[in-house]
Structure 1
């Protein structure tokens, strides 16, 4: 059985986000198609997890973290053996630690990278790091991007066009089947509020959550925020200090509760403010559950998932007024909301199933083995 090793800086259960979910989808789909799948990441200690989805995860103890780039001496020392013990390497960009190790070692195994997004947070460092990125991409056999829009917003990718393939994110539908009932307190919570907009994701700087709180002041209905992250305490303080009684911060929720919250919601909102939001896994989940969407135009795959005036509204980023206007329209206009809801599931079936997208990775893996 051929082995695929995914390499990224973060993964379940240490963190829970859309990118981790995307990696899990890739891995479980490959396992279903006869591959042995491993994810290599870093964590607070060195340990191994064997998940029921067929994915084995090996965490290496983190030594330090600089600008969201965790480094592990144990991982670095083990990298050569990780490469030797697999048939295919599947990297996930960006993680400078892994990229520099690729440049240091002479890798002779077939390798692809899913280029999720460019580096956006610290632009001076990006300029210094860019030459290394280009050398790294030269050594990789195949570059997968979630949307061709990235070719416009990330100019240096153009020089690698001959080995770029568009592979969008997708959903493993089994994730939401045979789940236990939602927790009683979640059921009770949804009964106390009426129509609500739902945000799901890691509470990071680029998610636009401050803009969402600004918009809440112009919305009569409720907003539910699901997720954990660095911004949790600040958001909690804003909600309390500004008396935003229609905003509810629920923290992380397991899939049984998450499914229930999506099904009961009036819309899915993703108010991100920077292209670090490469695709938006929750937008896909919204399509799957036939929910209208509100997102922002970032020049990334988010507007591929949410087609303006077809599955929902796409507004300019950073504008609480525009965000509130789009949300109010969907929360109060049943005709508009039902039209977008109907279109949402058709859009999912046409473009984002495991067959439509996941099989592209299977073809790449098999071409490497040939």
Structure 2
């Protein structure tokens, strides 16, 4: 089967959607499918390369506006493709608009990762085009029932939606102490709390940083992003730099050892832009208890309160403090949550399960 994925970025750019596309594309390629990914290049030139059996076509970009790379060449590159399946990953308005006017006749799937939340002016003007794209698409993949119900867009297209949760390669993140994880614990101290992700406005990190004033533990923040400078200044202002550590971006192959090293994983997001939270799956695969926030999105579908971890109210530092203290005071409960977390992720969110469901969906069209 000829499969074409469309999004704005691809590995080595790190992010939840980018990582998802990479894992899915490579998994599909291993099954013998011819997989191509059409994205934009972070440089101004176009480029084609092959990574792990997947062909990546990088269209040149001339600017980035509101986190959206603009490319004149992407629509023309799309017109040259002759796939059996076009699989778009929303939100990327340039990609979806290019598809709408491309005249491409392939069966079309769109994974709806998140509403456009922050850039409301873009959402307003783009909605008529998005509605046409979703009407034309054969099927919409939503990552949870929760998101279909709360999304003002998906709720209108619920009859066209198929729920297929995201998945990860469990073998990459399996628990167990390693020399590297020991080094991380020795370097930063224990108990060790962990956050992994892009440092964006909706991640809720100011509330986690403020919570550290009342928590006797170390916090490691893995990732970079537009809020990095602001967050470091907040930690410095609160005199917390001795217990809060910013690593910046790290090599993906080193990431599992950070999960193995931590005692608790925390995702304190405050906005519905956090539609699923793949990092929750990664922490669960490492058998770690997790703390997340109630956003009525996929995060609370992944993390079951009082079973795989704790779910607290968003934008509430004191709620984070109470949750962390509850876990740190009860090692038996932490181990129980970690065990339950692994059982849940292995039964529902493996890369193999996700890939099979998506390939079966393609064949049904």
TM-score bracket relative to the smaller structure:
over 0.9
- Structure 1 counterpart of 2:185: 190
SS of the residue corresponding to residue 140 of structure 2 reads strand
Task: Answer yes or no: is the 8 Å Cα contact 2:37–2:54 preserved in 1.
Answer: yes
String of CA shifts for 1:119-169, please: whole Å, max 9, x gaps. 100223322221221111011111000001112111332332332100001
Q: How does 1:65-214 map to 2 (within 5 A)?
A: 65-82=64-81, 84=82, 86-176=83-173, 188-192=183-187, 193-214=189-210
Task: Answer yes or no: is the 8 Å Cα contact 2:75–2:102 preserved in 1.
Answer: no
Q: Matches of 2:51 and 2:170 in 1, distance apart?
A: 17
* RMSD (Å) for aligned C-alpha atoms: 1.8
- Structure 1 counterpart of 2:2: 3
- Structure 2 counterpart of 1:288: 285
Q: How does 1:173-322 map to 2 (within 5 A)?
A: 173-176=170-173, 188-192=183-187, 193-244=189-240, 245-322=242-319
SS of the residue corresponding to residue 217 of structure 1 reads helix
1:345 aligns with 2:342: yes
SS of the residue corresponding to residue 235 of structure 1 reads helix
Q: Matches of 1:151 and 1:256 in 2, distance apart?
A: 33
Q: Matches of 2:318 and 2:310 in 1, distance apart?
A: 13
Report the TM-score when normalising by structure 1: 0.92
String of CA shifts for 1:104-128, please: whole Å, max 9, x gaps. 2322111100000111002233222
Relative to structure 1, is the Cα distance of residues 131 and 28 closer, same or farther in structure 2, using a 3 angstrom cutoff? same
Q: Matches of 2:277 and 2:154 in 1, distance apart?
A: 21
Task: Answer yes or no: is the 8 Å Cα contact 1:29–1:172 preserved in 2.
Answer: no
Q: Matches of 1:158 and 1:225 in 2, distance apart?
A: 35
Count of aligned residue pairs for this structure pair: 358
Q: Matches of 2:110 and 2:75 in 1, distance apart?
A: 19
From 329, 332, 346, the equivalent of 1:332 is 329
- Please say which of residues 64-73 and 102-111 is displaced more in the overlay: 102-111
SS of the residue corresponding to residue 119 of structure 1 reads coil
Q: Matches of 1:121 and 1:78 in 2, distance apart?
A: 29
- Structure 1 counterpart of 2:51: 51
Task: Answer yes or no: is the 8 Å Cα contact 1:117–1:278 preserved in 2.
Answer: yes
String of CA shifts for 1:180-201, please: whole Å, max 9, x gaps. x876xx7544214011111011
Mind listing any 5+ residue stretches in structure 2 that lack a counterpart? none
